[in-house]
Amino acid sequence: MQKCLRKGLAPHYEFNMNILITGLHGFVGQNLVAQLSGKHRIFGLARTAGEMAGVDKIYTWSDLDNATLPEVDAIIHLAGKAHDTKNQAKADVYFKVNRDLTVNLYNYFVQSSASKFLFFSTVKAIADELGTSVLTEDNEPKPKGPYGESKLEAERYIQTHPAPNKQVYILRPCMMHGEGNKGNLNLLYKLVSKGIPWPLGAFSNSRSFASIDNVCLIVSELLNRDIPGGAYNIADDNPLSTNALIEIICGVMGKKCRIWNVSPALIGLFAKVGNVLHLPLNTQRLAKLTESYVVSNQKIKKALGVDQLPIDSKAGLEKTIRSFIKH
């Protein structure tokens, strides 16, 4: 019998953990707060103070510098400079945020009473492109561009500065999705909803996704169980092609699926024009939509003692698309 994290049920919680979350206003942060609040005391760390449902208090980064943060049991570090698909951000911005901020927070953690540190890195810290290979935690890091490079430097600092008697997790999610996601899935949804045919049917690919529900459940398990520290990829169980994703979107919307097999060379030319005119389809977005990028999740499943994650790729994507329709 396959072992699976309990679908539809909250994981086993040790109540009243104090957890500090950075980047709690982002997509992952909002979902984690919703998942963990009510079961644990949540504190935030952000650029500005304020209020947020489910959060006891939001501190600022100056509180970190002044050592006035509350004592917590775990720190979840989500804050970071996201990948800029328009290539407008300067490289040093990525390193100041993704590396330097992480180093400062991790140094604080090492000296604090907190026992667990969860750093959200990215698969792009290891490989920007995979071709037909599958990404595992054993791949030699070959990031491309300041986003992946800055995340890798943060990882290496953590890995070369061990925290005795503490558990440190480096989490590398692939393309995450869920309610509130505004990435490439939303672009595909808008195309289908407007009845525009999908012109990339001639591209054959396979890529992994990460449902925010699976991400949150994995974080919950890491917080509440004695799981060995280390680097872990996060991905749903079954990779899908972009054409299959279009079919899922059409199915949820009850629309006839219109997939055109336009010449890849012609599409590539149009994407180059998009670079110049700042159109929705540019070469970088075309690569994201059509490349193969398969991520193994075997290590995290083995650590959790499960054979499968509760939300499979198709079910997770259907839920995400339904959230687009709702909003």
pLDDT one-digit tens code per residue, 215-231: 999 999 999 999 999 99
Residue 47 belongs to a domain: no
Q: How far is CA 212 from the centre of its chain?
A: 8
Query: For all residues of the chain together, what is the average pLDDT?
Result: 91
* The pair of three-digit structure tokens given for residue 312, joined into one six-digit string: 């499979």
pLDDT at 273: 96
CATH code assigned at 165: 3.40.50.720
Residue 118 belongs to a domain: yes
Task: For residues 155 and 11, give the distance between their C-alpha atoms in angstroms, rounded to a whole number.
Answer: 28
pLDDT at 11: 53
Residue 167 CA: distances (Å) to CA of 115, 119, 227, 228: 6, 11, 8, 7
Determine the structural domain holding residue 119 and report its residue range: 80-322
Residue 300 belongs to a domain: yes
Q: DSSP label at 123?
A: G
Task: For residues 303 and 223, give the distance between their C-alpha atoms in angstroms, rounded to a whole number.
Answer: 13
**For residue 131, what pLDDT band results from cuts at 50, 70 and 90?**
confident
pLDDT at 86: 54
Q: Which of 80-84, 98-102, 244-248, 250-254 has the lowest mean pLDDT?
A: 80-84
* The pair of three-digit structure tokens given for residue 201, joined into one six-digit string: 């049917």
Task: Give the residue-averaged pLDDT of 103-131.
Answer: 96
Q: How far is CA 240 from the centre of its chain?
A: 17
The candidate with the shortest Cα–Cα distance to 104, out of 61, 72, 147, is 61
pLDDT at 168: 98
**For residue 112, what pLDDT band results from cuts at 50, 70 and 90?**
very high
Q: Across the strands, what pairs with 175?
A: 209
Task: For residues 180 and 325, give the distance between their C-alpha atoms in angstroms, rounded to a whole number.
Answer: 12
Residue 296 belongs to a domain: yes
Residue 244 belongs to a domain: yes
pLDDT at 136: 98
pLDDT at residue 253 is higher than 50: yes
Name the pTM for this structure.
0.90
**For residue 284, what pLDDT band results from cuts at 50, 70 and 90?**
confident
- Count: domains in the chain: 1
pLDDT at residue 158 is higher than 50: yes
Q: Is pLDDT larger for residue 165 or for residue 90?
A: 165
Q: Which of 175-189, 225-239, 281-295 has the lowest mean pLDDT?
A: 175-189
Residue 16 belongs to a domain: no
pLDDT at 157: 98
Residue 51 belongs to a domain: no
* The pair of three-digit structure tokens given for residue 297, joined into one six-digit string: 């999740």
pLDDT at residue 6 is higher than 70: no
**For residue 4, what pLDDT band results from cuts at 50, 70 and 90?**
low
pLDDT at 88: 54
Helical segments of the chain, H only: 27-36, 61-65, 91-94, 102-111, 146-159, 184-193, 212-224, 242-253, 264-277, 283-290, 298-304, 313-326
Residue 174 belongs to a domain: yes
